[in-house]
Amino acid sequence: MHAPRTGNPVGVKNTALLVIDMINTYDHKDADLLIPSARTVVPAVADLLRRARDRSAPVIYVNDNFGEWRSHHGELLDHALSGPHSHLVQPLKPDRDSLFVVKARHSVFFETPLEYLLRQQNIDQLVLTGQVTEQCVLYSALDAHIRHFDVIVPRDAVAHIHEDLARAALRMMERNMGAHVCTSKDLWR
């Protein structure tokens, strides 16, 4: 068990902002439960994107491929922006300096080149944002922890399907993985 970390742990040179699964059509079985929470986190994620970019911190989108094995990340973005929930995607669009990793499962690390990319850039601290707190964010935090990355999770920048499970997931990340759970306003001040 780890004691929760305190303070403002975010540096610039060794910290990357990960945006998990926010490029989304919201055309899945849990969408109706997820959309209200996603709507509330978009402003915090957008603000973190701005602050990270202002400081030249790497921004990495890691997104589900939704079973479209031939999809390029641009196709995922175009599809999400042309869907009925484009208002949740538009404020979070990647810019030309953003990096993009397509994933097929819950963790951002499973069968992706993400770890190699992070090591090549000497990244050792990750700010996890996006969705779903009790699924992809939790599994990604665990996989980051076992790979010896420091994990920061701004609770107002991660969306959930089930609020009670999200609270438990945040507690697990903090207590079991040593993650710094904070608010987005605590980062890159």
- Count other Cβ atoms within 10 Å, centred on residue 86: 13
Tens-digit pLDDT profile for residues 35-69 = 999 999 999 999 999 999 999 999 999 998 766 66
> Has residue 5 got a pLDDT over 60?
no
Sign of the alpha-carbon torsion through 36, 29, 132, 100: negative
- On whether residue 24 sits in a domain, the answer given is yes
Q: What is the mean pLDDT of residues 10-22?
A: 84
Instruction: Report how many domains make up the chain.
Output: 1
- On whether residue 6 sits in a domain, the answer given is no
CATH of the domain at 103: 3.40.50.850
- On whether residue 1 sits in a domain, the answer given is no
Sign of the alpha-carbon torsion through 188, 123, 137, 172: negative
- On whether residue 22 sits in a domain, the answer given is yes
The pLDDT of residue 9 is: 59
Q: How many CA within 13 A on the CB side of residue 105?
A: 9
The pLDDT of residue 8 is: 47
> Has residue 93 got a pLDDT over 80?
yes
Tens-digit pLDDT profile for residues 99-148 = 999 998 899 999 999 999 999 999 999 999 999 999 999 999 999 999 99
- On whether residue 171 sits in a domain, the answer given is yes
Q: What is the residue range of 22's domain? A: 15-186
